[in-house]
Amino acid sequence: MAIKANLIIDQGTTYSTDLQLTDDAGNVIDLTSYTAAAQIRKTYTSSSATSFTVTIGASTGLVTLSLTANQTSNITAGRYVYDVELTSAGGVVSRIIEGIVTVTPQVTQ
């Protein structure tokens, strides 16, 4: 079951956040051979999406999500949904986090 966490992204800015993955005992999860994907959509069934760039620190258990200033400029201010999925070398897909994204409007153009 995915962790629920909401994000706030300022429109027109570079965005980055880190997710530290640990097991129930607090040990870092080895993410060697994993891939990841993460998207923002207006609704769960929207056909268009903005994809995060996802970087995995295999031995550190760190997953970094990022968007460029250009990407966030192209997202209309408002409320969205997102999730992050990991795929193992064996093809097992796990959703690790999901929630609401609030994009705050940009003033400076």
Task: Give the CATH number of the domain where residue 21 resides.
Answer: 2.60.40.10
Angle at 6 (CA atoms; ends 15, 26), nearest 5 degrees: 95
> What would the pLDDT profile of 35-54 be if each residue is shown by its tens digit?
999 999 999 999 999 999 99
* Lookup: tokens for 70: 């250009």
**Amino acid symbol at 107:** V
Report yes or no on 109 lying in a domain: no
User: Which pLDDT value is given to residue 108?
Assistant: 85
Domain that holds residue 33: 3-104
- The pTM score is 0.92
How far is residue 46's CA from residue 83's CA, in Å, rounded to a whole number? Answer: 14
Domain count, the chain: 1
Q: Is the Cα dihedral 54, 75, 10, 85 positive or negative?
A: negative
> What would the pLDDT profile of 44-99 be if each residue is shown by its tens digit?
999 999 999 999 999 999 999 999 999 999 999 999 999 999 999 999 999 999 99
Sheet with 15-20, edge to edge strand ranges = 15-20, 62-67, 53-57
